[in-house]
Structure 1
Amino acid sequence: MNARHLVGLVSGALFGLGLMVSGMTDPAKVLGWLDVFGAWDPTLGFVLGGAVLPMAAAWRLSAGRRPLLAPRFPAPPPQVIDRPLIAGSVLFGTGWGMAGLCPGPALASIGYADPRLWLFTGSMIAAMALMPRLRRRLDAGPATG
């Protein structure tokens, strides 16, 4: 195992542990965040802030620097609101609201003996695998014949 793989393994394990400790692998906790007109649970806001704020600082600090284990840092995502972004956001939000999990917590939850979590996570992985093919078809436009 090389250094990049080791750093990836440790980072992923730390991320999963953080999700478990913060309760984000519990769908009821996440659904409580989304229930703003009922029994609203604001704790997910602290988890989100604890992720977004350090990442914003990391984007700033990485400018003009080279990472230790890669040739370059990834480029910041485009800051354009377009149809694919809106469609992806709607799909993500719908899945998140229905299941109470997003991809990170779903993967961290597969160790639980709950077949519903396994079904959701398997469906999520299948959709992620199919999306590049669907995207190519959508980008190609309507078929002519």
Structure 2
Amino acid sequence: MTETPSYEHLTLLGKHSAQPTNPHAAVLERVVNPAVGKHYIVRLTCPEFTSLCPLTGQPDFAHIMIDYIPNNWLVESKSFKLLMGSYRNHGAFHEACTMEIAGKLISLLDPVWLRIGAYWYPRGGIPIDVFWQSSVPPSDTWVPAQDVPSYRGRG
């Protein structure tokens, strides 16, 4: 029988948690990976991500998909949800939001591998998609396609 991990260090799960007003105020938490040493993919999808243009204050919308192979840690999902919501009133360009989210997860989790695909909806008629991965994924890992279609408009 395996020992149940302690979750006493979590400050958000199971408690009322106000939405952070910006990403710098958000607390991202982690839990122990129950399968250390196995290369499996964890997928986090945020199909209704919003932030603000830092110059105009107009809303920007994206479908963000993150895949990672955990090392010792998994991101705690409620804290991740609150982090993503904290961008709602945050002004930053698409690339800055995307890379900041990736950087926060890399710093917290030190995963074996991580990739982020940020599929931004058009502003001024031009969609901007941002992609990044930390390295080449291990050869023994099945990495599913993200399959988020490119923006096609009405055509």
Normalising by structure 2, what TM-score? 0.23
Q: Which has the larger radius of gyration?
A: 1
Which has the larger share of helix?
1
Normalising by structure 1, what TM-score? 0.24
